[in-house]
Amino acid sequence: MIIITGGAGFIGSNIAKALNNRGETNILIVDNLVKGKKMLNINDLDIADYMGKEAFLERIQSDDDFGGKVQAIFHQGACSATTEWNGKFIMENNYDYTKSLLHWCDRHKAQYLYASSASVYGAGSVFKEARQNELPINMYAYSKFQFDQYIRRFKPQVPQQIVGFRYFNVYGPREQHKGTMSSTAFHFHNQINETGVAKLFAGIDGYDNGEQRRDFIYIDDIVDVNLWFLDHPEQSGIFNLGTGRSESFNDMAKAVIKWHGKGKIDYIPFPDHLKGAYQSFTQADITHLRESGYRKAFRTVEDGVRCYLDAMTRDSK
């Protein structure tokens, strides 16, 4: 069996779909479906079972073996809101829960592949997996950073695979449930459809209007790396998972406008509540990932947006 926490979410449901495409259906999806529209992410999947997060955590804490051999846990479940400042809530959901799964995998010799985040680098300009580059600036980032620190201490003691992926700005199908936390590609697409105008933030931190830059990575590339590590259990570590390129929000908006064949850009004032807690630049150093043996190229924003919006068009028919 393969277990995917956050399996009805954006990345988790895409991993499950890719496993289905490989013929794997012995999958346990774990999630919280209080927001029932997330069901739309899993209604086309073939899985062995679904379990709510609370019931799953109880079984993890009681050391249940889930009826047999678990090959791997893809731990994608978390509170991903970078604007959430309830530290107790964030640490219980993103840190304590993640540790519980880690120790269960250790006891049951299962591969453990978990979602970290590029947010651990904060407002820094060096995005390489090293402690001196890490200074989180919000609670979400701190929870991810602290677990990575825990792994650095824990991994030398155990032989089985433990892999953390520092996701950069991921976009693609099955993210529609995320609301304000959905990607800019998703929001720009909807804005062009509704008003013909993509709204970008005005300049801040020395960047011109819309020229804040991020390492945007398409979901299929994220999934491909996850499954490559599943197939290579000898590889462990904490890895940046981005393209290695930074592209501007203007680039993203222009790619969406190009796909639509219409539209324009408008700039809005930068929100006060994001000042001091916003990354204006990210660009993954993927040297460590390449050294692991993963060699495939990553899509550009223009290529990724085309794949994304083509898929959205197909799905709406």
Question: Which sequence positions are flagged as catalytic?
Answer: 140, 178
Residue 223 CA to residue 11 CA, distance in Å, equals 7
Give the helix/strand (H/E) hosting 214.
Answer: strand 213-214
Long-range contacts of 42-50 (CB under 8 A, 24+ apart): 42/7, 42/8, 42/13, 42/16, 44/17, 45/13, 45/16, 45/17, 45/20, 46/20, 47/7, 47/16, 48/1, 50/7
SS3 content of the chain, % helix, strand, coil (to 5): 45, 20, 40
Alpha-carbon gap, residue 148 to 131, rounded angstroms? 10
Helix or strand run (H / E) with residue 78: none
Residue 8 DSSP SS3: coil
Which structure tokens are listed for 46?
């073939």
- Cβ burial of 126 (10 Å; 0-12, 13-18, 19+) is exposed
- 95's CB contacts (< 8 A; 6+ apart) are 143, 146, 147
Q: Is the dihedral of CA 29, 33, 35, 38 positive or negative?
A: positive
Of 120, 122, 99, 8, nearest in space to 91 by CA? 99
Q: Give alpha helix (H) positions in 155-261.
A: 184-194, 219-231, 249-260
What is the rounded distance in angstroms from the CA atom of residue 48 to the CA atom of residue 149? 34
Q: Look up residue 274 and give its two tokens.
A: 């994001």
